Amino acid sequence: MTIRARGLPLALVGITFRAARPEDLPGCGAIWRDSINDYLGRLNRPEIPDELGPIGRLHTHTQATDPDRFVVAVVPGEGGKRILAFGSAVERGRIWFLSMLFVRPEAQGQGLGRAILERLLPAPTFDGVLATAIDSLQPISTALYARYGIVPRMPIIDLRGEVDRPDAFADLPDGVVAIPFESIADGPPASPGHRALAEQVDALDRELLGAEHPQDHRFLRTEHRRGFLYRGAGGAVLGYGYAGEVGRIGPIAVRDAALLEPVAGHLIATVPSRGARAIWVPGAAPGLMPTLLAAGLRIDEFPLLVCWDRPFADFSRYVPISPGLL
């Protein structure tokens, strides 16, 4: 679809919107980096590292699961069409989540972000939750999403660093055992072990996040994050947690909020890391941040804000995957 001139800024005339193709994704990664660096530069903050591997893998995942909800805006340019902006949303059950919306710096503030958002939003008959995560210092995105009722509700803070005081974490309570996912689901993908694990994990996600998202759990495994299921003395499923070999902790889902810190401690103690640890800590989980700080992690960046139009997840018991994928 091409924007018509009438009633729209002249700057947008000739821009075409279409579903992204896999070959567009490296260009989207570059827009993500350039627009964030432009924003950080204006705040006198250091640029993000020039490493597009993780964001590229996230884009590949969301484009594969939600191809109609990954949209690029292209404009004719030298040597072919040039991508000016892109946006990506995922639907998981009753949750619509805006994963990405980025416009090249020189094209911002002219209605392009809104035009893409309009193409990503569900039909007006949609009866679920609209949610996203934003930079806390970014008024444009805050205002843009708030116009659709998606308003900032909760900070999430990226805590990072070396754990030099592991005894800051309480041990798992007596009788609670951590079972590696691979020892439950050790057969082929359709085996009973896989099905049993998937059912338990999906039930936790429905209860704590508000929707199951098995496709994202498959993605986590391709990202080499190791998963553990936590069971109580009687065998009851109490939660799950992941940690990756490059240091990322999460997601974590626990039925009892008091388990969040011991589970984080267990993951850190059990899964070796090649790099610094990092975890997105929800403001609604008040016990987790003091413990992680006491263990040695630090705050380097401004908080992000999770926004939604109606309540859905229980973030006192759920640590998300990232700001781009709940």
Strand partners, 181: none
By CB under 6 A, how many residues form the interface with ligand COA?
A: 21
**Please, what is the minimum distance in Å from the beta carbon of residue 124 to ligand COA?**
18
**Closer residue to ligand COA (CB): 101 or 163:** 101
Rounded least distance, CB 37 to ligand COA, Å: 9
The β-bridge partners of 2 are 16
Structural contact between residues 138 and 96, judged by C-beta atoms closer than 8 angstroms:
no
Scanning 46-54, 98-106, 222-230, 244-252 for contacts with ligand COA by CB under 6 A, the matching segment is 98-106
Which of these ranges, 90-98, 109-117, 203-211, 287-295, lies near ligand COA under the rule CB under 6 A?
A: 109-117
One DSSP character per residue, 2-61 reads B--STTS-GGGTT-EEEE--GGGHHHHHHHHHHHHHHHHHHTTPPPPPS--HHHHHHHHH
Within 8 A by CB and 6+ apart from 133, the residues are 156, 304, 305, 306, 307, 323, 324
Q: Which of 27, 54, 111, 173 binds ligand COA (CB under 6 A)?
A: 111
Single out the residue of 28, 29, 39, 217 in contact with ligand COA (rule: CB under 6 A): 39
Binding part of the chain for ligand COA, among 134-142, 208-216, 267-275, 312-320 by CB under 6 A, reads: 134-142
According to DSSP, the residues that pair with 244 across neighbouring strands are 225
Whole-angstrom Cα Rg for the chain: 21
Minimum distance of ligand COA from residue 287's CB (angstroms): 27
Out of 89, 95, 134, 184, the residue judged to bind ligand COA by CB under 6 A: 134
Smallest gap, in angstroms, from Cβ of residue 256 to ligand COA? Answer: 32
Q: Which of 144, 154, 172, 198 binds ligand COA (CB under 6 A)?
A: 144
Which letter does DSSP use for residue 170 in this model? P
Q: How far is CA 191 from the centre of its chain?
A: 29
d(C-alpha 101, C-alpha 28), whole Å: 10
The CA angle 247-181-249, to the nearest 5 degrees, is 20
Q: Which is nearer to ligand COA, 46 or 272 (CB)?
A: 46
CB of 32 to ligand COA, least distance (A): 8
**Contacts with ligand COA, residue ranges (CB under 6 A):** 35-36, 39, 101-103, 108-114, 134-135, 138-141, 143-144
